[in-house]
Amino acid sequence: MNITRLDPIFKDYIWGGNKLNEEYGKNSGLSVTAESWELACHKDGMCRVADGEFKGKTLIEALAEAPEALGEKAAKFEFFPILIKLIDACKDLSVQVHPSDEYALKNEGQYGKTEMWYVVDAEDDAKLVYGLNKEVSREEFASLAKGPELMNVLNFVPVKKGDVFFIRSGVIHAIGKGLLICEIQQNSNLTYRVYDYDRVDANGNKRPLHVEKAIEVAKLAPEESYAETSVVFENKSVSVENLANCEYFVVDKIILNGKHHLFPDGSFISVTVVEGKGRIGSLDVCKGTTVFIPADAGFTEIEGNMTALSAYVK
């Protein structure tokens, strides 16, 4: 399997905007494009291979024919391990929480969700919710979740471009309006919605809430830190910074002004360009492009002036 671009999957949730179409080269055909699923092998969305001999096939179909492209480290998971999204929040997302693997497998028959956010862009005064600002009881939280009083116990964090947030399962969170986020997560689409501002959809219906389940899985106390990052490699032409390193995924931020090499080590690498342009292997890329580098690709040259996020498993 060659290094390839992927055709994304688009979602038109009620809080989305048009930045992904207008600024990031997405041609979704939707009036509102809330999410672009850049790397997806999930029942709710399957990316297709955009280049080479597997063009037009879903990524999971291509990997079935070329399993060495997945890599032994990624193959140890029961299913494709990572889901990557670009998210355009024109309006506030719901206040929500994701369950752990243990709870989700027992109660939903699927895996839970740990994720990380990289802030690709942020409007002035943008903010998000990261945990609570104080500890509360289950009873108090259940009462507050019935209305806007819930806002009084949420931890609102001012956000700027380049910020990183690591969100373990159980942490209550919400992306605020005016943010464009790259989300890298477990391959799960399981969300327990706590509060949705009494919004209605195009048919006048409120979206369902899952307060009882949320209370069972949520950490009802402040979360101590947002993310721990560290510089992995740096010279005049490239800086590599580790943004997340957990049992589900590893994410590095690459700031490039020249040339650099990536080498898959037992796992595919997914590279999402969030700023600038250049080349990955033989492919021209620009902001909004995601490239799948197979695990057996060997040394892969990247060059240009760009900022990109690389994701893989360890």
Distance CA 255, CA 237 (A): 8
CA of 85: how far to CAs of 11, 185, 289, in Å? 10, 9, 12
Query: Hey, which residues does 257 pair with through a beta bridge?
Result: 305
Instruction: Exactly one of 193, 199, 207, 279 is catalytic; name it.
Output: 193
Active-site residue 207, yes or no?
Answer: no
Give catalytic residues, as residue numbers: 193
